[in-house]
Amino acid sequence: MRIVESLENVIKLIPEIQSILIVDRDGVPVAGAGEEGRNRPQLTAAYATALEQANRLNIGEQESWVFQYEASQLVVLHSSPFAIFIMATPNANTGLLRQLRERLQPLLKECQLTIAEAQGTA
């Protein structure tokens, strides 16, 4: 699949990235590459809940969240109707990871088309 191949190329380009996962607004995985996260279901469920709570703040649409941990960092990019989870090493350039939203836009459009075709709405 071209989408997965493109995600793998991004991981090769930025070796600090361990995995990239694209999910829909319900937290359903659409595409991913890199190391399989052992907490993927919990992560996507927590994101859906956190997004719902963040929307109640009425401070605008959420663009990105950054979580720094001892052994890794997680950058979540929101690009409706998708969220992109980027798991990286703790020393990865966070600004560079956040800039991936623009670079991944063509892939997100391709994901939308693929989903629409599968649902028979394209």
Per-residue pLDDT of the chain (122 residues; tens, 9 = 90+): 689 999 999 999 999 999 999 998 878 888 999 987 666 777 777 777 777 777 788 887 788 989 898 999 999 999 988 999 999 999 999 999 999 999 999 999 999 988 888 887 65
Q: What is the DSSP letter of 81?
A: T
At 15, which CATH number?
A: 3.30.450.30
- How many domains are contained in the chain? 1
Residues 27 and 56: their CA atoms lie apart, in Å, by 19
Q: What is the DSSP letter of 78?
A: E
Please tell me the pTM assigned to this model: 0.86
The amino acid at 107 = L
Rounded to whole angstroms, what are the CA distances from 39 to 35, 36, 60, 71?
12, 9, 29, 15
pLDDT of res. 115: 84
pLDDT of res. 122: 57
Q: Which domain, by its residues, includes 70?
A: 1-119
pLDDT of res. 46: 74
Structure tokens at 66: 């950054």
pLDDT of res. 16: 97
